[in-house]
Every structure is written in C-alpha cells, then in structure tokens.
Amino acid sequence: MSEQPLDGAVALVTGASSGIGAATARRLAREGAAVALVARRGDRLRQVANDIAAAGGHAVTVAADITEPQRAEDAVQETLDRLGRLDILVNNAGIMLLSSALHTSVEEWDRMVSLNVAALLHITHAAVPHLIYAASTSPRQVADLVNVGATAGRVARPGSSVYSLTKAGLNAFAESLRQELVRERVRVSVVEPGTVETELVNHLNEVTRDAARLQVAGIEALRPEDIADAIGYIVTRERRVVVNQMQVRAGDETW
C-alpha cells in the first residue's frame, strides 16, 4: 500500500502560478496527487511544474483565463484528457483590490467580482460532475472541493467592501453546495486565511499598498505553505471526516 494518501488522485488548482496556489500544488503533489496547474501566466506555471517534477511529483500546466466560461470548461476537460480524472478542485484564484467606495473605480470592483466569484462559479460548474464520478469510482470513495476564502468574508473593514462581498458570497455558495453534494460524497470546504505574505498586495495602488503594509507591519504574516498545509490536511482525511470550514490567522492578528 502506498504511503501517500492521494496516490492515484488528480487535483486541479486554480491560481497555481504563485502564492497559496503554487504552495498547494506542491503540497498535493507530495501527497501523491497528479496536479493540473491552472492560471493565466504560463511561464510561472511551468516553473511550478518543474519544481514538482524535481521533487518526484507529476504536474501539467493549463494556461487559461477562467473568468471566461468556455476557458474554464476547457481547463477541466484538458485536465481530464491529460490526467484521466478529477478528484480534487482547489478554487484559489483571486484578487484583492482595496480602496474606499469614494476613491475606487467600478472597473476594479468588476475585476474582483469577475475573478473571485465568476471564475469560481465557472470552474466549479464544469468540475462538479467529474468530482461526483470520482467519489463513486476511486478507492478513496470521496472527492474534495476546497475554496480559498478569507477572514475578510467574516470581518469586513474599511476599504474592503467589495473584496469582503466576494468572500462572504463564497461562504454562502460553499454552504449551499455542501448540502447539495453531501450524499454524493463530495466534500465542500472553505479555508479562510488571515494575513498571508502573497502577491495580492502588489495589485494595490501605491498609497493603498503602503497603508496595507503599515497595518500589518507588526504582524509575522502567514506563509503560503501554511495555507497549503491546511488544504492538505482537509483533503487527506479519511472519508468519514469532513472539515467544512477552517480559519487560519497569523498569530498576532486581532481581526
């Protein structure tokens, strides 16, 4: 018997070109899964795939903008064509654009809704039938759908109104989906990170970026690998165990 709990399983990770997505892909590969890496930046995906291969794992790259419904469907189909099945979907792709309603633009709000909500819906809709099939046919007898949310989905702060909206909506979507899929043995989970050292802050304008960094200056931020560990824990539980929600905050974080 393999010592790797995900031996034979296939995972698809969105936003896998950096940060939490890349760390999660590496973690799932170490657990034995073959991983489809999905993001828009093909060059960055190839680097992650090379890292996984160098560590003895297996990954394929799928460069796609999943804010487009057809590209999301194509990404799932390419995963099936190249890896044969789909047991785990990690919805990690997202963007955080912080600013007050007075000073932001509708375009920035639309970008967040497009990636944080619409893209998640597109890839989930395409993946669910295959997750159900995997749960009924795999030795594990279970499949997993993990959504990366944020503590901002529960604790809204000034400047984060639409970002918090997208993450709170994710929580509601996941809870409804959990109830729909529980009899199909597809586990639906949400991991809610607090302050993590990722590229998200780089998308902010200079003034907001400096303010965000000042706010967390006294905090030792989480690493992407910390969130990957949480996701790895969730998807490697035996079938009888379901971890539906997990908040992971930095030790010094008060919000």
Q: Give the catalytic positions in this structure.
A: 163
Closest CA to 157 of 107, 98, 205: 98
CA angle 155-209-201, nearest 5°? 65
Structure tokens at 24: 């999660």
Tokens representing 5 are: 């709990």
Q: Which amino acid is at 172?
A: A
Antiparallel, parallel or unpaired: β 143-148 and 186-193? parallel
Helix (H, G, I), strand (E, B) or coil at 231: helix
Q: Which residues pair with 13 in a beta bridge?
A: 37, 90
Question: C-alpha distances in angstroms, 200 versus 58, 63, 181, 224?
Answer: 27, 20, 31, 12
8 Å CB contact between 85 and 134? yes
What is the C-alpha separation between 101 and 81, in angstroms, rounded? 44
Q: State the DSSP string of 134-159.
A: HHHHSTT--EEEEEE--GGGTS--TT
Residue 37's φ and ψ, nearest 5 degrees, are -95, 120
Supply the DSSP symbol for 196: B
Contact status, residue 116 vs residue 167, Cβ threshold 8 Å: yes
